[in-house]
Amino acid sequence: MSNADASALRHHFGSLAQQKDASSLGMWTFLVQEIMFFGGLFLVYTVYRHQYYDVFAACSHHLDWKLGAINTAVLIFSSLTMAMAVHAAALGQRRATALWLVLTILLGGVFLGVKTVEYREKFEAHLVPGPHFLAPAEAAHELKIDASQAGHAQLYFSLYFAMTGLHALHMVIGIPILAGLAWKAWGGAYGPSYHTPVEMTGLYWHFVDIVWIFLFPLLYLIGHH
């Protein structure tokens, strides 16, 4: 075992292989919990979408599906750059690993920037649930729904902000982690025998991307099919 491998091995593991197995188990356990968490939100959304389909469809027209599509493409490319980072780390390519990680960070930043633009538009249009949400008469006019259904419109936008906000939070958490990995990769911390942190973070990033793949059609394209 090289000195670099020895420094990467934690004292309570017998080998790097055992350490990687433990890391994989921990990450998959975490992702299963995340699936259950987002699964609950998807279930709630599905139930209310079935109950108030017309209102949800009308509200979806006030989401910019073009921006949503751009963000979908951005995240798909970020999954590619993340996969390339894992591949480069496995080959011991120090600079390539750091470069792919930085590209992933930049794409994540683009996604969050577009999402910020979307959120600002909703605030300006008074489509944020709460005391400043459109009055029933205004909601009927702006959203093309019955005034009595304004509460259902708030429900839609509540789910929109909850689901996309939590997704964005996962990206906000992931980007500093990627930055730390890029810094360490530039210093030569990862190679063929040890690149577990990059691989595990890749699993996390791919999961976040997959969640968006479901969010985009569910929230943005209800009234467009």
Q: What is the pLDDT of residues 91-126, one digit of tens each?
A: 999 999 999 999 999 999 999 999 999 999 999 999
The CATH code of the domain that includes 138 is 1.20.120.80
Which parts of the chain fold into alpha helices (H)? 3-8, 16-51, 53-60, 65-90, 94-124, 136-143, 150-186, 196-220
Contact 78, 212 (CB under 8 A): no
Cα 138 from Cα 147, distance rounded (Å):
8
The pLDDT of residue 2:
40
Domain count, the chain: 1
pLDDT, residue 199, reads: 93
Of the two residues 13 and 21, the one the predictor is more confident about is 21
Please check whether residue 112 lies inside any domain of the structure: yes
Contacts of 163 (CB under 8 A, 6+ apart): 38, 41, 45, 215, 219
Check residues 173 and 24 and name the one with the higher pLDDT: 173
Taking residues 129-133, report their average pLDDT: 90
Residue range of the domain that includes 35: 16-224
The Cα 175–Cα 96 span in angstroms is: 18
CA–CA dist 23, 220 (Å, integer): 36
Residue 168 near residue 212 (C-beta atoms within 8 A): no
- Residue 109 included in any domain: yes
161 part of a folded domain: yes
Please choose, from the candidates 31, 33, 69, the residue with its C-alpha nearest in 3D space to the C-alpha of residue 207. 31
- Whether residue 206 is contained in a domain is answered as yes
Task: With beta carbons less than 8 A apart as the criterion, state whether 85 and 202 touch.
Answer: yes
Q: Quick check: is 148 in a domain?
A: yes
Chain Cα centroid distance, residue 21: 25
More reliable by pLDDT, 149 or 23: 149
Q: Diameter of the chain by CA atoms?
A: 72
1 within some domain: no
DSSP symbol at 191: B
Residue 3, domain member (yes or no): no
- Answer whether residue 197 is part of any domain: yes
pLDDT over threshold 80, residue 9: no
What pLDDT does residue 34 have? 95
Whether the model pTM is above 0.95 = no
